Amino acid sequence: MKSYKQVAGLLSIAGLSLALGACSSASAEPFEIKWGETECEVCKMKIMDKQFAAEAIMENEKGYAFDDIGCLMRDWYPEQKEEDIAAMYVKDFNTKDWVELDEAMFVYDKESKTPMAYNILSFAKEVDAEAYIEENGGDMMDFEQLKDHSWERGEMHMKMDGEGSMDQDSEMDMDTEEEGQ
């Protein structure tokens, strides 16, 4: 028979483990995007470019994928309740690794070419964002500044590839395309 002290010790350890587990702030993990198949939640274009993809995972574990940070932050995020969002991720422009959105640094470069022409690039490290700005220009932002960004769109640089998908090579007037939908 176990002594009272042994049982009390085991219960204390079990209680501490439960308490620590409940306080855990582990965020939801990024989910797999099927490149060229998964559609953006907002614009419904197929997500092709790993450098610009973004994701949101809800507390109920439902995931949303985006082909451009602008689709996530301009169109989707303002309609959500913060407490319903478990995690949001963006791709590092250089490594294409997932980075928690609120820990990333962002560069607005109106000369860059992103899928929906919002021209925001994300970086895991501030030093990488600074290096990009030094070489290409642009303005750096953190997550709070990104929320207040004006979200002007640049020119779309897309073309059809013959299979119904779009590529980023030639210019396309998005106003004309949107009117036709």
pLDDT at 170: 35
pLDDT value at 15 more than 60: no
| pLDDT grade for 55, boundaries at 50, 70 and 90 | very high
Q: Please report, for the chain, the start and end positions of each structural domain, with discontinuous segments joined by +.
A: 28-179
pLDDT at 139: 95
Q: How far apart are CA 102 and CA 144, in angstroms?
A: 8
